[in-house]
A and B are shown apart, each in its own frame.
Chain A
Amino acid sequence: MTDTENNKNAKPPDQGMGLFELVWAAILDIPKLMRTMSFAIWVFIILAVFTLAGTILPQEHLTQDPDEFAHKYIKIFSIDPDDGVNTTGEFIYHNIVNPLQLYRIFKTNLYLILLSLLSISSMLCAFDKVKITRKLLAQKKPKVSVDTVKAMSNSASGSVDDDVAEVGDRVRSWLKSHHFQVFEEKDDAGTEWFLVRKNAIRHIASIAFHFAFVFILIGGIIGDQRTFGYDGYVILGEGDMKPLGSREASVAADAQQQYTPDTDERLYLVEYQNIYRERDFPGIDPVSGFPLEYKGMPSDYISHVQVVSHEHNGDNNVLMEKMVEVNRPLRYNGIGYYQTSVRSIYHFTVTAPDGTQESVTTAAGEAFVLPLIEIQSGLSPVDSVGGIWETLDGTREEMPYRIKLHDLRAFFAGMTDEPDLLGYVYEDVPLVISNYEIALDQVDEYTILQYVYDPGVPIVYFGAFTLIIGLTLALYLPWRTGRIILTQSGKSVNWAAGGNWSEFSDEISKSVIKE
Chain B
Amino acid sequence: MVEETIELTQDVMDPQIALEFLTLEIAAGIFLLAALVSIIYWFSRNGYVGVGSLVVTILATLVLTLSLVVRYINVGHIPYVQLYETYLFVAWSIALIAVIADLSVKSRLPSTIANIIAGLILVYIWQWPDVSREGSPLVPALDSPWLDVHIATAFLSYAGFAISAGASIIYLVKRNPKVDELSYKLVTFAFPLLGMGILLGAVWANEAWGRYWGWDPKETAALVTWLVYAGYLHARLVMGWKGVRANIFNLIGFFCVVFTWLGLNLVSRLLENPGLHTYAG
User: Closest CB of chain A to B265's CB: distance in Å?
Assistant: 12
Tell which of A92-100, A161-169, A365-373, A466-474 binds the partner: A466-474
- Chain A minimum-CB-distance residue to B236: A136
Given contacts A56-B267, A56-B271, A457-B212, contact A300 B220 (CB under 8 A): no
**Chain B 209-245 against A: per-residue CB contact (8 Å), 1 yes, 0 no?**
1111101010011011001000101100111100000
Contact stretch, chosen from A18-26, A323-331, A483-491, A506-514: A323-331
A153 to chain B, nearest CB (A): 19
**Contact of B239 with A55 in the complex, beta carbons under 8 Å:** no
> B140, A327: Cβ atoms under 8 Å?
yes
Q: Is the CB of B271 within 8 A of A58?
A: yes
CB-CB nearest in chain A for B219: A55
Q: Considering the chains assembled together, what is the distance between the CA atoms of A250 and B212 in angstroms?
A: 20
| Alpha-carbon separation in the docked complex, A41 to B228 (Å) | 11
Residue among B195, B234, B238 making CB contact with A471, cutoff 8 Å: B195
B272 neighbours in A (Cβ, 8 Å): 58, 72, 75
Given known A56-B267, A57-B271, contact A280–B137 (CB-CB < 8 A): yes
Q: CB-defined interface of A292-326 with B at 8 Å, one 1/0 digit per residue? A: 00110111110000000000000000000000011
A340 and B209 form a contact (CB under 8 A):
yes
B10 contacts chain A at the CB level, 8 A cutoff: no
> Interface stretch among B31-39, B83-91, B199-207?
B199-207
Which residues of chain B from 141 to 193 have any CB-CB distance to chain A below 8 Å in the complex?
Answer: 141, 143-144, 188, 191-192
Query: Can you sample 30 A-B contacts with CB below 8 Å?
Result: A37-B234, A37-B238, A51-B224, A55-B220, A55-B221, A55-B224, A56-B271, A57-B271, A58-B271, A59-B273, A133-B238, A220-B213, A294-B136, A295-B136, A297-B139, A326-B140, A327-B141, A327-B144, A329-B207, A338-B209, A338-B210, A451-B210, A452-B211, A457-B206, A464-B202, A468-B199, A471-B192, A472-B192, A475-B188, A476-B188
Contacts of A464 in B (CB 8 A): 199, 202
Q: Are A338 and B220 in contact (CB under 8 A)?
A: no
Interface presence of B208 (CB below 8 A): yes
Cβ contact of B237, chosen from A136, A325, A461, cutoff 8 A: A136
Q: Is the CB of A48 within 8 A of B210?
A: no
Q: Is A54 an interface residue (CB 8 A)?
A: yes
**Closest Cβ neighbor of A128 among chain B residues:** B238
Contact indicator B215/A59 (Cβ below 8 Å): yes
Instruction: Please tell me if A139 contacts chain B, counting CB pairs below 8 Å.
Output: yes
**A481 proximal to B (CB < 8 A):** no
Interface contact B199-A279, CB-CB below 8 Å: no
A75 to B207, CA, bound (A): 35
B56 interface residue (CB < 8 Å to A) = no
B251 within 8 A of partner (CB): no
Q: B108 → chain A, closest Cβ, in Å? A: 24
Chain B residues, Cβ within 8 Å of A450: 209-210
Chain B, interface SS category: helix
One of A37, A44, A460 near B239 (C-beta < 8 A)? A37
B residues near A, CB below 8 A?
76, 136-137, 139-141, 143-144, 188, 191-192, 195-196, 199, 202-203, 206-213, 215, 217, 220-221, 223-224, 227, 231, 233-234, 237-240, 264, 267, 271-273
Chain A residue nearest in CB terms to B185: A475
Please measure, in the bound complex, the distance between the C-alpha atom of A500 and the C-alpha atom of B149, giving whole angstroms. Answer: 37
For A107-138 the 0/1 string (1 means CB < 8 A from B) is 00000000000000000000001001101100
The 8 closest A-B pairs by CB, nearest first: A452-B210, A280-B137, A106-B215, A326-B140, A58-B273, A327-B144, A336-B210, A55-B220
Please state if B141 and A475 are interface contacts (CB–CB under 8 Å). Answer: no
CA distance A461 to B205 in the complex (A): 13
From residue B154, how far is it (CB to closest CB) to chain A in Å?
Answer: 14
A407 within 8 A of B: no
Most B Cβ at <10 Å: residue of A56, A280, A299: A56
Task: Kindly state the separation between the CA atoms of A457 and B199 in the bound complex, as whole angstroms.
Answer: 12
B215, A301: Cβ atoms closer than 8 Å: no
State whether the Cβ of A52 lies closer than 8 Å to any Cβ in chain B.
yes
CB-based nearest B residue for A464: B199
A204–B131 Cα gap in the complex (Å)?
Answer: 53
Measured CA separation A231–B136 after assembly (Å):
33
How many A-B Cβ pairs are below 8 Å?
A: 110
Chain A CB within 10 Å — which of B144, B212, B233, B273 has the most? B212
Residues of chain A touching chain B, judged by Cβ–Cβ distance below 8 Å, are: 37, 41, 44, 48, 51-52, 54-59, 72, 75-76, 106, 129, 132-133, 135-136, 139, 220, 231, 277, 279-280, 294-295, 297-301, 325-327, 329, 336, 338, 340, 450-452, 454, 457, 460-461, 464, 467-468, 471-472, 475-476
A336 contacts which chain B residues (CB < 8 A)?
210
**A residues within 8 A CB of B192?**
468, 471-472, 475
Residues of A within 8 A of B76 (CB): 279
- Closest chain-A Cβ to B39's Cβ sits at a distance in Å of 32
Complex: how many Å from CA A476 to CA B224?
23
Distance in angstroms between the alpha carbons of A51 and B220 in the assembled complex: 7
CA distance A52 to B215 in the complex (A): 11
- Residues of B contacting A452 with CB < 8 Å? 209-211
The answer on a CB contact under 8 Å between B240 and A139 is yes
Is the CB–CB distance between A279 and B141 below 8 Å? no
Contact between chains at B238 and A136 (CB < 8 Å) = yes
User: Are A299 and B240 interface neighbours, CB within 8 A?
Assistant: no
Please give 4 more A-B residue pairs, beta carbons under 8 A apart, in addition to A299-B137, A327-B141, A461-B203: A55-B220, A56-B267, A231-B211, A468-B199
- B214 to chain A minimum Cβ distance, whole angstroms, is 9
Known interface pairs A51-B220, A220-B213, A475-B192; A300-B137 also in contact (CB < 8 Å) = no
Most buried by B among A231, A326, A450: A326
CB-CB under 8 A from A136, the residues of chain B are 237-238, 240
- Expressed in whole angstroms, the Cα–Cα distance for A476 and B191 within the complex equals 12
CB–CB B210/A56 < 8 A? no
Neighbouring B residues of A58 by C-beta, 8 Å:
271-273
Chain A residues whose C-beta falls within 8 Å of the C-beta of B188 in the assembled complex: 475-476
State whether B212 touches A460 (Cβ < 8 A).
yes
CA distance A224 to B35 in the complex (A): 52
Contact B227 A55 (CB under 8 A): no
What is the CA–CA distance of A48 and B240 in the complex, to the nearest angstrom?
Answer: 23
Alpha-carbon gap, A238 to B224, bound state (A) = 44
Question: Are A54 and B144 touching (Cβ within 8 A)?
Answer: no
A327 touches B224 (CB 8 A): no
For the complex, give the distance between the alpha carbons of A195 and B28 in Å: 50
Query: Which residues does chain A contribute within 8 Å of B221, judged by CB atoms?
Result: 55
Q: Is the CB of B238 within 8 A of A468?
A: no
Which B residues are CB-close (under 8 A) to A476?
A: 188
Give which listed residue, A52, A326, A461, contacts B141 with CB less than 8 A. A326
Q: How far is the CB of A16 from chain B (nearest CB, A)?
A: 40
Check B213–A231 contact: CB distance below 8 A: no
Partner of A48, one of B141, B199, B217, B224: B224
How far is B224's CA from A106's CA once the two chains are assembled, in angstroms? 14
Asked if residues B210 and A132 are in contact (CB atoms below 8 Å), the reply is: no
| B140 in complex: contacting residue of A44, A279, A299, A472, CB < 8 Å | A299
